[in-house]
Structure 1
């Protein structure tokens, strides 16, 4: 079956005074059927977080323009994007008064394949016909407590340190980078990368069903509207990119 891609990127400032998320989807300049989606959630005070997140997008675009599968595997490429952005963010400390940090999710689509890497608590979900196939693990204290069985899912939702990250770009330690992928794309696959300003308000099942039932643009609007209502005036920046594999 021939397939095509339905994609959408969307953002909302939420109830913050500044948009510190950055998001982009762009095609490879010379390789048909190859595209990159990048999301970064900046942290570090006024303008510092936005600057850090912007560096993730710029480095991803720069590296992608020179990406050549013959000399670099997808996993190596994705890791290098995050590592390189981490170094640049650390260097900005010497030219600014901020202490910039950022999360990162980098997703690459090529004919028949999808690969991704991430650091922090921005997430990638992979659904197939509405069912969850994979979800990136958060590099956060609460996620570690959950994995060790020290707290429950219900306790995690209201934990006072639920936003405390154990790894991010720009920190003294090298970033923890987890990777994943799927070797055989098919119609019905759907991916969403999003910041915690979105995923904090949805169970996995609702995200998968929304992506399954609606086209990318409609689903993005539906999810942002629902997140804004559920935030009750206390919402974080929202950013999301949806990539759906549909019959041509």
Structure 2
């Protein structure tokens, strides 16, 4: 049976004064079955973070529109999108006297192939059913401490420096961009892109279960509601995009015209 796509993007301002996240699911203008999902979490004071995140989405859309797939690899397209966004955000600080930065996580969907890249601590999760297959590793101080064995994942949840990033788009240093891909896709696979305002409130099993048991739209609504409750009035901006691969229903046979009587065989 062929595979269909169930997708939804959503966000909430949380308890912040401004929405500095940006999220989008962008279909390719000319290539059927090709789409790009993007989540960007902007930082940099009033309006600066929002402008940085907006630049990430704008640059990604421009690169998607020019992506043919024959002379450029998906990894190269994603790498270029983030590198170009970094350059544009960095340049904007001289014009706007701000210090804008943004995380980025992008997923390029093509028939039989999903490629993604990220910079910062906005995440991508790949589930098969309810089980986590893999997730991106944050470019953050606490993930560095976990990797070097200095703290445990449980200790990282409440570490005082858990929001310190080691990489972002728009910073003084060249961004660290990590790429990955999966080409063996099955119905039941799902991909979640989200900012830390959402993933901070869920463990892998709960996140996978809620997505497996609901449509993409319903899962977005439930996850936002739960994150808002758990934020207890101190919640960050939160954004997510969910892409679920599901069994495509066979096309319905056209109904016979009124008064049609089938002829007996023989």
**Residue 258 of structure 2 aligns with which residue?**
none
**Residue 15 of structure 1 aligns with which residue?**
15
Deviations 1:78-136 (A, max 9, x none): 10000000000001011102100000011000101100000000000000011111100
**Residue 110 of structure 1 aligns with which residue?**
110
Deviations 1:198-221 (A, max 9, x none): 000000010111111100000000
**Residue 49 of structure 1 aligns with which residue?**
49
**Residue 97 of structure 2 aligns with which residue?**
97
**Residue 206 of structure 2 aligns with which residue?**
206
Gaps in structure 1 of 5+ consecutive residues: none
Question: How many matched pairs?
Answer: 248
Deviations 1:168-188 (A, max 9, x none): 000111100001111121100
CA drift of 1:154 comes to: 2.2
User: Match of 1:164, SS?
Assistant: coil
Distance of 2:155 and 2:38 partners within structure 1? 31
User: Match of 2:226, SS?
Assistant: helix
Distance of 2:245 and 2:79 partners within structure 1? 24
Distance of 1:140 and 1:156 partners within structure 2? 11
CA drift of 1:152 comes to: 1.5
Deviations 1:27-68 (A, max 9, x none): 100000000001100000000000000000000001100001
Distance of 2:181 and 2:244 partners within structure 1? 15
Distance of 1:131 and 1:197 partners within structure 2? 22
**Residue 230 of structure 1 aligns with which residue?**
230
Gaps in structure 2 of 5+ consecutive residues: 249-266
User: Match of 1:221, SS?
Assistant: helix
CA drift of 1:158 comes to: 0.8
Distance of 1:104 and 1:84 partners within structure 2? 12
Distance of 2:10 and 2:133 partners within structure 1? 23
Task: Calculate the aligned-residue CA RMSD, in Å.
Answer: 0.6
> TM-score, normalization: structure 1?
0.99
User: Match of 1:220, SS?
Assistant: helix
User: Match of 1:33, SS?
Assistant: coil
Distance of 2:23 and 2:157 partners within structure 1? 26
Q: How does 1:151-166 map to 2 (within 5 A)?
A: 151-166=151-166
Distance of 2:207 and 2:181 partners within structure 1? 19
CA drift of 1:9 comes to: 0.3
Q: How does 1:108-187 map to 2 (within 5 A)?
A: 108-187=108-187
Distance of 1:18 and 1:160 partners within structure 2? 24
User: Match of 1:236, SS?
Assistant: coil
